[in-house]
């Protein structure tokens, strides 16, 4: 999927996306250019390896590539702007030479947003939902689609006993309302927004399950929902599986999320996720 196709897709997502249907959720393939990401850290540090993996993800069915240069795993610490730029910009440039696939830049830093979009990225995927200083203004100036994610706290401390006084679903909903309004006031149109409830970001196992079972409630905004559950610790806790043995749990949650109306699935396991979503979409074609 290229930029024009993705923008057309966004423009047609004003109504809740429900499966079964003849359409399946888009797949966002994870491409971490970091030494310390929880699942694939250190695998794609060179731009050659990263671009090679990018082409593999596209072949497997990725509609979007999500390129990140700073780990947001629990306990991780931030890196400087210069370090992040040195990781992501060469990769984006190299991918862009080989493909017109839609590229998302996974960052909360306005300087990285700007450089990445100018290098060829088409989407901003921000774990802080544009709350970092100058991020909202920068995103409005760049005029590209933006994913606003909910996170309680910061990656370094977010899993230290997260609490939701009004319940996690109510708190996430209130957060989305505030951030969507902030974007609208800055001149960012609703049709360029995507919402991510932040599975695993400042949430307990129970919180993540509550978010998952209530995904359809977030559709009140009339904005596409993105979900990333791939290989996360909640799956490991429930199934007693290490990171690279969490595929079945990840696929089960992905299928459930699709049936709940999620529009974009972020995953490390693109081929398997694509097969699962194709099978569900096929059910929607049966009269």
List the chain pLDDT tens, one digit each, 287 residues.
Answer: 998 999 989 988 754 444 434 478 999 999 999 875 544 544 555 778 888 999 999 999 999 999 999 988 777 788 999 999 999 999 999 999 999 999 999 999 999 999 999 999 999 999 999 999 999 999 999 999 999 999 998 887 878 888 999 999 999 999 999 999 999 999 999 999 999 999 999 999 999 999 999 999 999 999 999 999 999 999 999 999 998 999 999 999 999 999 999 999 999 999 999 999 999 888 877 66
Domain assignments of the chain as residue spans, ordered by start: 3-13+24-71+80-159+166-282
Among residues 13, 179, 232, 260, the one annotated as catalytic is 232
- The fold for domain 3-13+24-71+80-159+166-282 equals TIM Barrel (3.20.20)
Three-class SS state of 125: strand
Q: Do 153 and 162 touch, CB atoms closer than 8 A?
A: yes
Identify the DSSP state of 254: H
The yes-or-no answer on residue 73 being catalytic is no
**Is the model's pTM score more than 0.75?**
yes
Q: Dihedral of CA 48/49/54/59: which sign?
A: positive
Q: Catalytic: which of 73, 231, 246, 266? A: 266
Angle, helices 47-60/270-283, rounded to nearest 10 degrees: 20
Asked if residue 20 has a cis previous peptide bond (ω within 30° of 0), the answer is: yes
Task: Give the residues across from 196 on adjacent strands.
Answer: 149
Active site residue 266: yes
Instruction: List the 146-149 sheet strands across, edge first.
Output: 193-196, 146-149, 123-126, 102-106, 64-68, 26-32, 264-267, 226-228
């Amino acid at each position: 999927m290229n930029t024009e196709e993705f923008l057309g897709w966004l423009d047609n997502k004003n109504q809740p996306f429900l499966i079964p249907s003849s359409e399946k959720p888009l797949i966002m393939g994870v491409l971490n250019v970091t030494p310390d990401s929880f699942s694939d850290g250190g695998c794609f540090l060179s731009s050659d390896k990263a671009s090679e993996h990018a082409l593999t993800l596209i072949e497997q069915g990725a509609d979007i590539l999500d390129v990140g240069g700073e780990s947001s795993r629990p306990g991780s610490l931030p890196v400087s702007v210069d370090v992040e730029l040195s990781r992501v910009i060469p990769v984006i440039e190299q991918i862009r030479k080989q493909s017109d696939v839609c590229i998302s830049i996974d960052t909360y830093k306005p300087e990285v947003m700007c450089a990445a979009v100018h290098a060829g990225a088409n989407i901003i995927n921000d774990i802080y939902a544009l709350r970092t200083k100058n991020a909202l203004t920068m995103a409005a100036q760049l005029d590209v689609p933006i994913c606003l994610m909910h996170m309680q706290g910061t990656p370094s401390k977010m899993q230290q006993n997260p609490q939701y006084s009004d319940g996690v679903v109510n708190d996430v909903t209130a957060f989305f309302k505030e951030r969507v309004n902030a974007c609208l006031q800055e001149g960012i149109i609703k049709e360029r927004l995507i919402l991510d409830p932040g599975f695993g970001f400042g949430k307990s196992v129970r919180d993540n399950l509550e978010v998952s079972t209530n995904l359809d409630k977030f559709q009140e905004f009339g904005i596409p929902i993105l979900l990333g559950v791939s290989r996360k610790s909640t799956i490991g806790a429930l199934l007693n599986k290490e990171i690279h043995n969490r595929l079945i749990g990840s696929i089960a949650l992905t299928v459930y999320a699709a049936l709940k109306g999620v529009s974009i699935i972020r995953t490390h396991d693109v081929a398997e996720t694509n097969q699962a979503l194709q099978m569900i979409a096929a059910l929607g074609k049966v009269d």
